[in-house]
Chain A
Amino acid sequence: SQQGEEDPQALSIQEGENATMNCSYKTSINNLQWYRQNSGRGLVHLILIRSNEREKHSGRLRVTLDTSKKSSSLLITASRAADTASYFCATDLGGTYKYIFGTGTRLKVLA
């Protein structure tokens, strides 16, 4: 069974709007990461949030983590067409370096 599951599976928005994706996981973690994958390319690391952090920002990205609910959200503000990609969360199984990914959210930003 999957450790991380992203929601929604697909999201289509207009350029300039905000995009929010959610990730739920099942076991305790040390940290949670978000990655982006452009079509046909490798995954690119976006941001890492540790289990003792609740919120983190990086440019137009904002990540929150709620360990009591075992969930995280990724907010992309003022989206651009170039943000069109699949987004994945990855969680470690607490105390290990084994990172488990979900099925991803496919984001389409319309110009």
Chain B
Amino acid sequence: EAGVTQFPSHSVIEKGQTVTLRCDPISGHDNLYWYRRVMGKEIKFLLHFVKESKQDESGMPNNRFLAERTGGTYSTLKVQPAELEDSGVYFCASSPFFSGELFFGEGSRLTVL
């Protein structure tokens, strides 16, 4: 069974540009989460989807961040326009609805210059 996959693994962009990160969860997992880790700091919650609905987006930093999950399958996280402080590793995780265990992808490292 394929795990959670994220693309790209690393993205380097200039301030003001746009980046879209993609996450493919494990098939059948209704819950999908986005997290971000800035170097040395905590793994910060961004948002949580249940199927295609945003259950909780309280961690989204501002309106430059837009997350979607079309059809309850894969999800995208778009940052537009990117700022220097957006640099970090963005993790996606999925879980079955009634299980607490999260299955993480390898992360997408974003560097904004």
Contact = CB atoms under 8 A, between A and B. Distances in A.
Interface residues of B, number: 25
Nearest to A4: B42
Given A97-B55, A97-B95, A33 B100 contact: yes
B100 A98 contact: no
B101 A97 contact: no
B102 A45 contact: yes
The size bracket of the interface on A is: 20 to 34
Task: Give the interface SS of chain B, mostly helix, strand, loop or mixed.
Answer: strand
Interface stretch (B13-21, B33-41, B70-78, B79-87): B33-41
Nearest to B6: A42
A43 interface: yes
A103 B41 contact: yes
Interface string A32-48: 01010000011111001
Task: Give the interface SS of chain A, mostly helix, strand, loop or mixed.
Answer: strand
B100 A42 contact: no
Given A92-B100, A102-B42, A103-B40, A97 B31 contact: yes
Interface of B: 4, 31, 33, 35, 40-45, 48, 50, 55-56, 91, 93, 95, 100-107
Given A42-B105, A98-B56, A101-B44, 14 more contacts: A31-B100, A41-B107, A42-B4, A42-B91, A42-B104, A42-B107, A43-B93, A43-B104, A44-B104, A98-B45, A99-B33, A100-B45, A101-B45, A102-B42
